[in-house]
Amino acid sequence: MRAFTIDKYKAPLREANIEEPTVGERDVLVQVLAAGVNQLDEKIRDGEFKTILPYKTPLTLGHDVAGTVLSVGSRVRGFKAGDTVFARPRDHRIGTFAERIAIDEADVALAPTTIEADGAASLPLVALTAWQALVVRGNVQPGQKILIHAGAGGVGSITIQLAKHLGAHVATTASAKNADFVRGLGADEVIDYRTQDFEKELSGYDLVLDSLGGENLEKSLRILRPGGKAIGISGPPDPDFARKAGLNPLLRLAVTALSAKIRKQAKKLGVSYEFLFMDASGDQLREIAALVDRGVLRPVVGKTFPFEQAPQALEALAKGGIRGKVVITGA
């Protein structure tokens, strides 16, 4: 079976012939029609997450998929051969840059019926991130003020739409050339990160979704109201993540140390910081698919590449400047 793999961390993505997936009793075997490309793929390739999310190599990358069910395991009841589905396979079972993949049925949902495979493949990871940040962690209510960094990117473009659906006042950071684009997604206020300092422009916010980390995250804490929350998706990871991930005691200490500074700053300001590493969830994808089919959410596919150009797709994403998602098609 054709797939795109890395032989070791920091190695380039290359085409390989790998074994067919093993289909467990609760698995769904999916023929890949399209696969979304995410910053997480590049971070894993580069070894950035190898301490908290170790993988054995060679490793097939890919965290998003839209495709057709070929067969199901003996205990699967929710899907059948021929179903069109989408999914973000759980950690340690990734590998959508391939012709086929076996996915736990709990991670799978029927794809939205109103969009094509490339749009469906663009959604799972970013839409689940948005859902878990705003609905699960943030409990966003109508009238609250939300800042979403990098609004023209994969996560930002979906999170803006979901935040507006939830009734929030939405600010976002973007380049001047993307200002009209993010306003079209629902942003009420656009900060040009090249010429404006969002810390000087915004205050009293209830929630910030930060995808950049570092100084950007520190400044984000200072625009929150007392009791407000910053959620980081680039890190640093926090103790709750370490516990949930089942890291050993030594790694837990190391992770706690990584986020000690930002958590101390947050506490001093009377706000909080949480690290979000999204979970796979077929149930949440069903909610998301319903919003897509109602016209509330629309996928944003910035560029597509044929399957054989998967390495170029990952390189294009790493270079930046693409609105929404990069998607690989035609596996």
What digits encode the pLDDT tens for the residues 59-92? 999 999 999 999 999 999 999 999 999 999 999 9
Q: Is residue 177 part of a domain?
A: yes
Residue 300: predicted pLDDT: 97
Q: Tens of pLDDT along 164-221? A: 999 999 999 999 999 999 999 999 999 999 999 999 999 999 999 999 999 999 999 9
**247 in a domain, yes or no?**
yes
Provide the CATH number for the domain around residue 116: 3.90.180.10
CATH of the domain at 167: 3.40.50.720
Distance (Å, whole) CA 92 – CA 53: 8
pLDDT of amino acid 331: 66
Task: Give every CB contact of residue 241 below 8 A, 6+ residues apart in sequence.
Answer: 52, 255, 275, 277
* Confidence band, pLDDT 50/70/90 cuts, at residue 321: confident
Task: Check if the beta carbon of residue 233 is closer than 8 Å to that of residue 154.
Answer: no
**Do 113 and 132 fall into the same domain?**
no
Residue 1 has pLDDT above 90, yes or no: yes
33-49: pLDDT as tens digits: 999 999 999 999 999 88
Q: What's the whole-number mean pLDDT along residues 4-16?
A: 96
Q: Does one domain contain both 205 and 226?
A: yes
Backbone angles phi, psi at 71, to 5 degrees: -160, 165
Give the whole-angstrom CA distance, residue 110 versus residue 75. 18
Q: How far apart are CA 323 and CA 302, in angstroms?
A: 5
Confidence grade of residue 29 (pLDDT, cut at 50, 70, 90) = very high
Q: How many domains does the chain have?
A: 2
Task: Please indicate, yes or no, whether residues 60 and 75 belong to a single structural domain of this protein.
Answer: yes
Whole-model pTM: value is 0.96
Q: Which residues contact 282 (CB under 8 A, 6 or more apart)?
A: 87, 105, 106, 107, 108, 109
Instruction: Classify residue 203: in a domain, yes or no.
Output: yes
pLDDT of 319 higher than 70: yes
What average pLDDT score do residues 100-111 get? 98
Q: What is the pLDDT of residues 243-270, one digit of tens each?
A: 888 888 888 898 889 899 999 999 999 9
201 with 141, same domain: the answer is: yes
| Structure-model confidence comparison of residues 319 and 289, the more confident one | 289
CA distance 245 to 239: 10
Domain that holds residue 208: 125-275
* Residue 293 domain flag: no
Claim to verify: residue 271 and residue 133 sit in the same structural domain: yes
Closest CA to 115 of 314, 280, 288: 288
* Res 51 pLDDT > 90: no
- What is the spatial distance between Cα 186 and Cα 213, in angstroms, rounded to a whole number? 24
Looking at the fold, whether 116 and 152 belong to one and the same domain comes out as: no
Asked if residue 283 is part of any domain, the answer here is no
Q: Cα separation of 95 and 103, whole Å?
A: 10
Instruction: State the pLDDT at residue 323.
Output: 93
Residue 235 is predicted with a pLDDT of 82
Using DSSP bridges, classify how beta strands 301-306 and 205-210 pair: parallel, antiparallel or unpaired.
unpaired
**Torsion 104-107-109-115 (CA) sign:** negative
Contacts of 106 (CB under 8 A, 6+ apart): 26, 280, 281, 282
pLDDT of 208 reads 98
List the beta bridge partners of residue 35: 328
3-state SS track over the chain: CEEEEECCCCCCCEEEECCCCCCCCCEEEEEEEEEEECHHHHHHHCCCCCCCCCCCCCEECCCCEEEEEEEECCCCCCCCCCCEEEECCCCCCCCCCECEEEEEHHHEEECCCCCCHHHHHHCHHHHHHHHHHHHHHCCCCCCCEEEECCCCEHHHHHHHHHHHHCCCEEEEEECHHHHHHHHHHCCCEEEECCCCCHHHHCCCEEEEEECCCHHHHHHHHCCEEEEEEEEECCCCCCHHHHHHCCCCHHHHHHHHHHCHHHHHHHHHHCCEEEECCCCCCHHHHHHHHHHHHCCCCCCCEEEEEEHHHHHHHHHHHHHCCCCEEEEEECC
